[in-house]
């Protein structure tokens, strides 16, 4: 008997039970989209943290920590974007953005842009969010494929499609109620799994001092290390850009705004978001430590690179199979799947809500039939699930897919969102000029200069220049065009 398959099956049955319970709470489109705006502080905290704690973190971040540690000056890459930038995003969004966005009483972030800049602005912002968010969802789908492929021995393509079907079924059943309740269950499993995994890994490697002894000092440095081939700017610009990708870019992501709208009170939402940010930092650091432990185990010869098959993102599944007693291994595999599902469900729901609320109205009149609107929301979840799966199969690197999605939001929407809230002079034309210029620099310019492939567009050689320059160009165009109009918008 395959005990992993049995354990995963039991876990899935648990999720189905939660989703069936959640589905009883869904009567209208608003119930599906924002859980009737009734989520309390404790449930919001789990939901916010669960949105970020996905496959890109558990699998992608451990792979990057395994390769580079906290930060590699020479490679200009590391784990700064996730978990550290991601945790900061939740804190910043809770403190400075959610209260204003909730006052509008909308559902999606595009509803803010419509209220501030008009329907066409809502359409453009929706297209940018859908573009960026598609890559984030694809990252979660990739992890599902890698886990099933590594643990169960199934083919990657079969594994990825099975994962998609599971995520779609319980997401369309209960909407945000399903997402919130399953996120609570999944986060508990994830945190238990991580707490169990760290001491097992440290025991196998010989303790934290042994990790420090066998790894290069640069891998353990949180800030850029001195390097004779790089100037001061050459060391710090990539590091700062790494923070910007998710810490700022994710503020304009659709799922956290949607969850914020589901909160019972403004105070609950603010407290929950900040709490989730600190939770994410703590447990994200443990994930990084597991990646470093994996690198130390390879340096010691306990694990080999051949076990990874050339894919560093498999270090976590390999460690589970090699180091853990079978019962604990089953728990932790379920924890990883929980992390994937907790991000993928909320992300898919956000894509569905954006499309059904902010794109479909341009092509059809709103229906008074709540059941019909609910059916459309669920069908859109299925469509985006298929699209993101195709992308994941084409480029199976979870960490890069995830970061490119946030980088696109940083380039296009972070500046107009911030100025739209805090600067009355921000105009409609300024919004369009900023969004279009930012996206052109980050996506189109990188394609022209680096080549039109998924990898060169997502991760060009000097990725940090595109990451930093795109929002600055956005800011320049938004401000200059707005000033030319000489108007104020309340």
pLDDT in tens, 399-434: 999 999 999 999 999 999 999 999 999 999 999 999
* Residue 332, pLDDT score: 79
Question: Looking at residue 33, what is its pLDDT?
Answer: 45
Of the pLDDT bands very low, low, confident and very high (cuts 50, 70, 90), residue 367 is low
Question: Is pLDDT at 23 greater than 80 in this prediction?
Answer: no
> Residue 186 has what pLDDT?
66
**Tens of pLDDT, residues 179-211:** 556 666 667 777 888 888 899 999 999 999 999
Q: Quote the CA–CA distance of 20 and 50 in Å, as a whole number.
A: 20
Neighbouring C-beta atoms of residue 229, cutoff 10 Å: 8
Cβ–Cβ under 8 Å, residues 319 and 303: yes
Helix (H/G/I), strand (E/B), else coil: 78: strand
pTM over 0.85: yes
- Number of helical H runs and strand E runs in the chain: 23, 2
Which pLDDT score, from 0 to 100, does residue 34 have? 44
pLDDT of residue 39: 72
Q: Give the pair of three-digit tokens for residue 473.
A: 């160009």
Both tokens of 460, joined, read: 């060009």
Q: Longest Cα pair distance anywhere in the chain, in angstroms?
A: 72
Specify burial of residue 63 (Cβ count, 10 A radius: 0-12, 13-18, 19+).
Answer: buried
Question: What is the rounded average pLDDT for all residues in the chain?
Answer: 85
Backbone angles phi, psi at 105, to 5 degrees: 70, 20
Which residue is it, tokens 């999605």?
Answer: 405
Domain 3-401 grouped into CATH 1.20.1730.10: yes
Q: Which residue has the higher pLDDT, 324 or 342?
A: 324
**Closest to 435 in 3D by CA, of 380, 397, 487, 473:** 473
Least confident of 84-88, 164-168, 308-312, 349-353: 349-353
Interacting residues of 437 by C-beta distance below 8 A, sequence separation 6+: 473, 474, 476, 477
């Amino acid at each position: 008997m395959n005990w992993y398959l049995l354990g995963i099956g039991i876990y899935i049955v648990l999720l189905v039970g939660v989703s069936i319970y959640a589905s009883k709470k869904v009567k209208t489109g608003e119930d599906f989209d924002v859980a009737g705006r009734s989520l309390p502080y404790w449930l919001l905290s789990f939901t916010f943290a669960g949105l970020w704690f996905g496959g890109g973190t558990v699998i992608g971040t451990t792979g990057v920590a395994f390769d580079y540690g906290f930060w590699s000056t020479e490679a200009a890459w590391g784990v700064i974007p996730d978990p550290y930038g991601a945790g900061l995003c939740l804190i910043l969004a809770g403190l400075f953005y959610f209260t204003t966005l909730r006052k509008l009483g909308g559902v999606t972030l595009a509803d803010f842009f419509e209220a501030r800049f008009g329907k066409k602005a809502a359409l453009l912002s929706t297209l940018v969010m859908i573009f960026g968010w598609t890559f984030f969802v694809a990252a979660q789908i990739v992890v599902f494929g890698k886990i099933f492929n590594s643990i169960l021995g199934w083919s990657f393509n079969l594994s990825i499609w099975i994962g998609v079907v599971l995520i779609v079924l319980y997401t369309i059943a209960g909407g945000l109620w399903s997402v919130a309740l399953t996120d609570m269950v999944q986060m508990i499993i994830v945190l238990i799994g991580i707490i169990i995994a760290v001491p097992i890994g440290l025991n196998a490697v010989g303790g934290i001092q042994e990790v420090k002894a066998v790894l290069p000092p640069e891998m353990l440095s949180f800030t850029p290390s001195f390097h004779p081939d790089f100037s001061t700017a050459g060391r710090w610009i990539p590091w700062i850009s790494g923070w910007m990708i998710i810490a700022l870019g994710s503020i304009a992501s659709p799922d956290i705004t949607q969850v914020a709208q589901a909160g019972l009170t403004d105070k609950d939402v603010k407290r929950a978001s900040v709490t989730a940010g600190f939770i994410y930092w703590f447990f994200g650091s443990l994930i990084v430590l597991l990646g470093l432990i994996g690198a130390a185990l390879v340096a010691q010869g306990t694990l080999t690179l051949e076990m990874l098959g050339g894919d560093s993102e498999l270090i976590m599944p390999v460690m589970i199979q090699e180091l853990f007693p079978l019962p604990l291994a089953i728990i932790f595999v379920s924890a990883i799947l929980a992390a994937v599902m907790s991000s993928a469900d909320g992300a898919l729901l956000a894509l569905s809500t954006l499309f059904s609320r902010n794109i479909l109205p341009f092509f059809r009149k709103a229906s008074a039939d709540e059941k019909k609107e609910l059916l459309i929301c669920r069908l859109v979840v299925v469509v985006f699930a298929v699209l993101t799966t195709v992308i994941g199969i084409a480029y199976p690197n979870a960490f890069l897919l995830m970061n490119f999605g946030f980088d696109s939001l940083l380039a296009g929407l972070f500046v107009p969102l911030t100025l739209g809230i805090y600067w009355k002079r921000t105009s409609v034309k300024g919004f369009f000029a900023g969004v279009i210029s930012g996206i052109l620099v980050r996506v189109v310019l990188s394609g022209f200069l680096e080549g039109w492939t998924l990898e060169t567009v997502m991760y060009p050689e000097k990725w940090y220049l595109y990451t930093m320059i795109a929002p600055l160009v956005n800011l320049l165009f938004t401000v200059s065009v707005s000033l030319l109009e000489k108007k104020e918008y309340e």
